[in-house]
Amino acid sequence: MRHSIRSFALPLLLAACALGAAPHAGAQGKDFKVALIAGKTGALETYARETESGFMLGLEYLTRGRMTINGRAIKVIVKDDQSKPDLGRTLLAEAYGDDRVDIAVGTTSSASALAMLPVAKEYKKILIIEPAVADAITGDKWNKYIFRTARSSMQDALAAASTLKSGSVGFLTQDYAFGRDAIKAGKEALIATGSKASVVHEEYAPLATTDFTASAQRLFDALKDKPQPRVLAIVWAGPSPMNKIAAMKPERYGIALAPGGNILPVMQTWKAHAGTEGTIYYYYGFPRNPMNDWLVAEHTKRYKTPPDMFTAGGMAAASAVVTALSKVPDGDGDKMAAAMEGMHFGTPKGAMVFRKEDHQAIQPMYHFRIKKDQKNEWDLLELVRDIPADEMPLPVRNKR
């Protein structure tokens, strides 16, 4: 798996880098304008900050620092939608109408991203979704101008389901759209992957809760007499409750915890749970390809930390933007939509492709184990295995 990704991605990346090689920025036409909309204010600001830094690093890498495509300068206009749907919709209309951008990328909140989809259709301009995960984005709310480099909730669920072959599962998540969407996908994914595991309980905790005693006990009671293996799957955005759940000793009931991947500062707090397994979209130490090697080295040099999962997502979005604008330099949305269907582009995870049917980026995921012997503060996970895209039967739901 790793060898095939590396060998396929390398010529893509070399070709992309060549886009920045022409001298005299702007000599061959006006600047390319790109809008990057993110929730830089509010609960998701960490995700937004990572997306922005990854996006700018991606443009730098792909253009060899020139920030040009075939001699035309790239101008990035960054907007903060504060994760508010109404503001996201307004800012995207402003970007297409007043700023006259060629292409837009965004946003952090799924609710805001969903509000932005009709604006792309109205203006007939491309919107690349990163990092919002709601399935409806490439499902019933989709239109032909929407492409997503981010993974979907269903891709997360299919990755997790691929590790659960039998036994009993209980879910803990947050009681809002993200959590309910994720658990719906999780149950469907078990069926889609042919798992024999049974879902015995779903627990939806209040979004701002800090006391998980009652929720955890209900899960323990539901799981404790069910067939082994017994798994309590935690699907959580933001600081994970795993440490608090683990403190209640689920192993008394033969229950193992299965966390979803999270950002590095959260996973740093999991050191006491060595051996616990889960699945993740990206961890800096897993992919082996030139783009990721550069990202890890450069991000560590500049920020003193490795890149995180949303940083990698921002870089993937930048690669899709550069590849699309090189194919359709006039920014025409209809021509670009046609060119981007089935389009391959390099990312820190290796090569991705926009599926023709719904424009979802098809990509691998990773099965991890928390390391026992951590050599430094960021040496957190070991790879159990790559989960290739063809093991995740992602359904098409856009009613095209």
The DSSP line for 224-276 is TTSPSSEEEEEE-SSS-SHHHHHTT-GGGGTEEEEEBP--HHHHGGGGGGTT-
Residues 279, 383, 247: CA angle, nearest 5 degrees? 55
User: What was the pLDDT predicted at 237?
Assistant: 82
User: What was the pLDDT predicted at 9?
Assistant: 41
User: What was the pLDDT predicted at 19?
Assistant: 52
**What is the set of domains in the chain, with CATH numbers?**
2-151+286-362 (3.40.50.2300), 154-280+366-391 (3.40.50.2300)
Tell me what percent of the chain is helix, strand and coil, each rounded to the nearest 5. Answer: 40, 20, 40
Q: 351-355: list long-range contacts, CB under 8 Å, 24+ apart.
A: 351/5, 351/8, 351/9, 351/12, 352/149, 352/316, 352/320, 354/147, 354/320, 355/394, 355/396
Write the DSSP symbol of residue 360: B
User: What was the pLDDT predicted at 28?
Assistant: 52
User: What was the pLDDT predicted at 178?
Assistant: 83
Query: Is residue 120 within 8 Å of residue 126, measured between CB atoms?
Result: yes
> Helices (DSSP H) in 19-81: which residue ranges?
45-62
In the block, tokens 């799981």 appear at 223
What does the pLDDT profile of the chain (400 residues) look like in tens digits? 333 333 334 334 444 444 544 433 334 579 999 999 999 999 899 999 999 999 999 999 999 999 999 999 999 999 999 999 999 999 999 999 999 999 999 999 999 999 999 999 999 999 999 999 999 999 999 999 999 999 999 999 999 999 999 999 999 999 988 889 889 999 999 999 999 999 999 999 998 899 999 999 999 999 999 999 999 999 988 788 999 999 999 999 999 999 988 999 999 999 999 999 999 999 999 999 999 999 999 999 999 999 999 999 999 999 999 999 999 999 999 999 999 999 999 999 999 999 999 999 999 999 999 999 999 999 999 999 999 999 999 999 998 7
Element (H, E) at 97: helix 85-97
| 3 state DSSP class of 34 | strand
The rounded distance, in Å, linking the Cα atoms of 172 and 344 is 36
- Taking the model in full, what pTM does it have? 0.90
Which one, of 373, 350, 390, 361, lies nearest residue 138 by Cα? 361
Which one, of 309, 238, 232, 244, lies nearest residue 272 by Cα? 244
Element (H, E) at 331: none
